Amino acid sequence: MSLPRDSKVYIAGHQGMVGRALWRAMETAGFTKLIGRTRAELDLRDPAATQTFLAAEQPEVIIIAAAKVGGIEANRTQPADFFFDNQQIQTNLIHGAHRLGARKLLFLGSSCMYPREAAQPLTESALCSGPLEPTNEGYATAKLAGWKMCQAYRQQHGHDFITAIPTNLFGLFDHYEPGRSHVIPALIAKYHQAKAEGTASVTNWGSGAPQREFLNVDDAAAGCMFLLDHYSKADPINIAGGTELSIRELNEQIAALTTYSGAVEWDTEKPDGMPRKLLDDSRLQAMGWAPKMSFADGLEQAYADYCERVA
Ligand code: GFB
């Protein structure tokens, strides 16, 4: 059943890439009472501050898009921060939503919750069936706990708390800082700078062999919006239907986009991470939802955003 458009909705993390896209999607869907807080205004890791905020604002719907996020290197080098920050944020918000008796809560998981060696495409039933990819175990474990916490509160208290698992995302307001970025923004920034400075070669990480599925963040937000209106189960559900490429193929597309024509090296001392991460999207597809934007259009949009905001 669709959520009333005059519901008060708190988008936690509304200034991140996903939170901003959710804000756009919910405005487009007609929601009139969206609220957000910046990190400076509210530290969601702080239980007392979070409870005070929720008690004062009384949101009816809570979306957990707030998270410490980063690419493979940030995850590999700061597993404690990824574990602690995410665990704290989601615990405070899920328990807070319970205390409020919130009408609906959407928790956003991550494709790294799937076991490293699970069969591809990754179906929701493969969760917790094997060991995780070591480079992002801290983050993935926190995300698995968030899903399980939603399930536990549904089971014990009957709350409508749902979990969605988006595939690798990119798009407007992505992070371009070299130590933190995911592969698409990292390559856009590297190739653009190399072209501008006339550098002879760029160095990418790993072997280039891993395969990743990429989905534009506005499509992912539309998928979340669809789930808020139409999904109410304990099982997590994938948001996918993106484009799958090897990192080597991705590098060719981004080199063409930025018109970089120099050499490309591969630093195999850097990790590859999961060999493949393709999410099975049949459950959401069967409900009648599919993404709209082509990968090429999404990549052009991301590059334009980088040129305007960052370069
Ligand atoms: O996007 P990415 O950092 O995240 O890396 P993951 C994807 C692949 O691109 C890896 C390679 O095989 C990287 O080695 N790669 C090549 C690069 N050059 C670069 C580069 O310059 N920067 C980056 N970042 N990668 C993350 C997880 O995994 O994905 C998180 O660590 C989360 O937990 C997120 O799940 C969605 O897809 O490997």
Which residue out of 10, 114, 139, 260 is catalytically annotated? 139
Token couple for 260: 């970089």
What are the E-state strand segments in the chain? 8-12, 33-35, 61-64, 104-108, 161-166, 168-170, 201-205, 211-216, 237-239, 243-246, 263-267, 276-277
pLDDT tens digits along 178-202: 889 999 999 999 999 999 999 999 9
SS3 state at 211: strand
Provide CB contacts within 8 A for 102, sequence distance 6+.
Answer: 59, 60, 61, 62, 159
Is residue 130 within 8 A of residue 117, CB to CB? The reply is yes
Other Cβ atoms closer than 10 A to 29:
16
Please tell me the predicted confidence (pLDDT) of residue 161: 98
Look at the alpha carbons of 237, 25, 81, 71 in this order and tell me if their dihedral is positive or negative: positive
Please tell me the predicted confidence (pLDDT) of residue 247: 98
Provide CB contacts within 8 A for 47, sequence distance 6+.
Answer: 88, 91, 92
- Ligand 1 pocket list (CB less than 6 A): 71-72, 75, 110-112, 135-136, 139, 168, 181-183, 186, 204-206, 210, 212, 247, 270-274
Token couple for 102: 């919130």
Please tell me the predicted confidence (pLDDT) of residue 69: 97
Provide CB contacts within 8 A for 181, sequence distance 6+.
Answer: 70, 71, 174, 175, 189
Please tell me the predicted confidence (pLDDT) of residue 178: 87
d(C-alpha 4, C-alpha 31), whole Å = 8
Ligand 1: residue whose CA is nearest its atom 11: 205
- Hey, which residues does 7 pair with through a beta bridge? none
Please tell me the predicted confidence (pLDDT) of residue 87: 98
Ligand 1: residue whose CA is nearest its atom 35: 112
Token couple for 213: 């599925």
| Per-residue DSSP letter, 163 | E
Q: How are beta strands 211-216 and 243-246 bridged, if at all?
A: antiparallel
Query: Which amino acid, 34?
Result: L
Comparing CA positions, the residue from 227, 224, 248, 241 lying closest to residue 298 is 241
- CA 50 vs. chain centroid, Å, equals 22
Regions in the chain scoring below 70 on pLDDT: none
SS3 state at 295: helix
Please tell me the predicted confidence (pLDDT) of residue 118: 98
d(C-alpha 170, C-alpha 295), whole Å = 10
My answer on whether omega of the bond before 275 falls inside 30° of 0, hence cis, is no
To test the ligand 1 pocket, which listed residue (17, 68, 72, 246) has its Cβ within 8 A of the most ligand atoms? 72
Provide CB contacts within 8 A for 281, sequence distance 6+.
Answer: 121, 238, 239, 240, 241, 290
pLDDT tens digits along 58-92: 999 999 999 999 999 999 999 999 999 999 999 99
d(C-alpha 292, C-alpha 171), whole Å = 14
Comparing CA positions, the residue from 150, 171, 186 lying closest to residue 298 is 171
Token couple for 190: 């590297």
Ligand 1: residue whose CA is nearest its atom 31: 72
Please tell me the predicted confidence (pLDDT) of residue 1: 73
Other Cβ atoms closer than 10 A to 65:
24
- Hey, which residues does 129 pair with through a beta bridge? none
139 part of the active site? yes
